[in-house]
Amino acid sequence: MLAEIRDCVAAHARPDLRTPIPGLLVSKVETSAHDHSLTEPLLVVMAQGGKQLMLGEQTFEYRAGQCLIVSADLPVTGHFIGASRQTPALGVGLELRAAAIAPLLLEAPARRWSRTGEPTIATGDADADLLDAVARMLRLLDRPSDIPVLAPLIEREILWRLLTGPHGGMIRQIGLADSGLSHVSRVIRWIRDNYAEPLRIADLASLAGMSQSAFHRHFRDVTTMSPLQFQKRIRLQEARSLLIARPGDVAGVGHLVGYDSPSQFNREYRRLFGAPPGQDATRLRTGEVRVALP
């Protein structure tokens, strides 16, 4: 089953990861260079190779036959292990949509769910049933006329396997409208959409429907960062995207993402990405850095 997934990913991978199936992503990476991304709730199954992923001080590793589950929008850093042109890292991802998960919660077997304390990133072995469903989803890429009817059914099966598996609590938190994760996720989305704006913790706590102390605690539990640290990471990653189109306007890009001081922008950008903005923009434009699954 894993060999079939590997072959399908290799055949259909594109630079932007997207496929004709909504929410299905495939990735082929031939370098072990570090990458920085803002991930979303996502299942990733590694078909070949492996990856080490970092969120703050936490490190996660998963290899062929294993999966990664992310339950929130998080800025992560990672690198593929031993990836090369001869043996590229191959993976398949599926976006974990709250709207698709919520109806399944009513049908899930009764068990004691934790309303708080679930991790936002986890790794583990992908069992045979999950791999079988992922393989069937990938087969649809060669049968596009079947996608509208069969893809939603297979997505539902994959979500059910996750919900009834060892990380079901994480999946449940995504689908619950009143979970602590959903409240913090509202704030995360606001920061993503308004990253250049000043932050007022009182306003963010109000948006989450929490006291300021509870909000600080829940936000750090989800992201491993303070709101200001999270905003800085979002600003720098947005700046990196803008620099692809505007490599000669470093100061302008810094101002657009909320930096009044060009020197502070250059310093913090280099600390995160390992090179000054102009130099890093050149690497991005020449393809030395590419989009990849987390």
Residues in the chain where the model's pLDDT stays below 50:
none
Q: What is the reported pLDDT for 280?
A: 85
Q: Does 150 lie in the same domain as 189?
A: no
Q: What is the pLDDT of residues 240-275, one digit of tens each?
A: 888 877 777 888 999 999 999 999 999 999 998 888
The pTM assigned to this predicted structure is: 0.86
Q: What is the pLDDT of residues 187-228, one digit of tens each?
A: 999 999 999 999 999 999 999 999 999 999 999 988 989 999
What is the Cα Rg of the chain in Å?
20
How many distinct helices (H) and strands (E) make up the chain? Answer: 12, 9
Q: Does 145 lie in the same domain as 29?
A: yes
Nearest to 119 by CA among 183, 55, 66: 55
Q: Does 205 lie in the same domain as 189?
A: yes
Nearest to 142 by CA among 46, 20, 15, 47: 20
Q: Does 233 lie in the same domain as 214?
A: no
Q: What is the reported pLDDT for 177?
A: 76
Residue 294 located in a structural domain: no
> Residue 274 sits in which domain range?
229-285
Beta-bridge partners for 35: 78
Q: What is the reported pLDDT for 50?
A: 95
Q: Does 184 lie in the same domain as 170?
A: no
Number of domains in the chain: 3
Residue 290 located in a structural domain: no
Q: Does 184 lie in the same domain as 161?
A: no
C-alpha to C-alpha distance for 232 and 108, rounded to whole angstroms: 39
Q: What is the reported pLDDT for 281?
A: 81
Amino acid at 122: A
DSSP SS3 for 27: strand
